[in-house]
A = this chain, B = another copy of it.
Amino acid sequence: MFLPEGKKAARQRLIIAELGLHPAVRTSALARRLGVSTETVRRDIEELTRLGLVSRTYGGAAGRQLGLQPEFQDRDSLAVEERDAIARKAVELVKPGDVLMIDSGSTTARFARILAQAVEQITVITNCFAVAHSLVQGSGVRVLFCPGDFSVRERGVYGSETCAFLQRFNADIAFIGASGLTVEGPTDVETQACWIKRTMLDRAERGVLLLDGTKFDRRHLELVCPLDRLSDVVTDRHPEGGLAVRLTRGGVTLHVASSVTQPEHVDPA
């Protein structure tokens, strides 16, 4: 099956939708509205909190303040800690003085947040508001924002204005995300977003793909670029089978982040 989509998922989707309208929701109100017990709502909120989609409050939940709109396509992706592990690993690739291009996406946004605290004296060109906002918190970062047609979905800009702008610059590294990674290369669902990724890869010396292991071998609407166009892939799990082979054959450096989470089912020695 593709999406289980039980009642639970529907409930949690409503909670997030509600949080898009109001800055905070209350457990009791949600329980009445959904026709379930408050205890169930509480568990839902707890779950959404672990995924980093909402933030728990005393009587209910609040939306994460900035960062991305909840993207449902990412609902099945990893929890915050795992995403952060990837981000921390990716930060190691950046040197002071670098000029970076950063794509929009949930993983790249976490990356930006961690980057801001870790590195100094860098310039970042981005089309994503969440990325820009996270970065400027840090002191030694200059953020150049792209022009373009504004999209709420991704909280960023797209279109030919954006690409034309990017063409004017040369960067050391481009950090991009993707919805999937197959033996052919990274894939994504949005044509608009693909063009941004392609342009960033074109204008940077190194092209780094950030994505979590759940996205291996997922084929989406559009192929971003051939696999060997990437110089690095940062992820949290070793790929298997054909994908692993093609990566090494294509000269792509693989960086695997070790998640902080302890492996389960380990008996004390």
Q: B137 contacts A152, CB within 8 Å? A: yes
Determine the chain B residues whose CB is within 8 A of the CB of A58 once the complex forms. Answer: 26, 57-60
Q: A143 contacts B137, CB within 8 Å? A: no
A134, closest chain B residue (CB): B152
Determine the chain B residues whose CB is within 8 A of the CB of A152 once the complex forms. Answer: 133, 136-137
A199 CB–B CB distance under 8 Å: no
Give chain B nearest CB distance to A151 CB in angstroms.
7
A74 CB–B CB distance under 8 Å: no
A64 CB–B CB distance under 8 Å: yes
Q: Specify the main secondary structure of chain A where it touches its partner.
A: mixed
Q: B63 contacts A60, CB within 8 Å? A: no
Q: B150 contacts A147, CB within 8 Å? A: no
> How distant is the Cα of A133 from the Cα of B130 in the complex, in angstroms?
12
> How distant is the Cα of A146 from the Cα of B165 in the complex, in angstroms?
11
Given contacts A65-B63, A151-B136, A152-B133, contact A22 B144 (CB under 8 A): no
> How distant is the Cα of A146 from the Cα of B147 in the complex, in angstroms?
4
Q: A144 contacts B155, CB within 8 Å? A: no
Give chain B nearest CB distance to A125 CB in angstroms.
9
> How distant is the Cα of A89 from the Cα of B137 in the complex, in angstroms?
36
A129 CB–B CB distance under 8 Å: yes
Residue in A59, A65, A148 whose Cβ sees the most chain B Cβ within 10 Å? A65
A54, closest chain B residue (CB): B23
Q: List 8 A-B contacts (CB under 8 A).
A: A23-B63, A62-B62, A65-B65, A133-B150, A144-B147, A145-B147, A145-B148, A145-B149
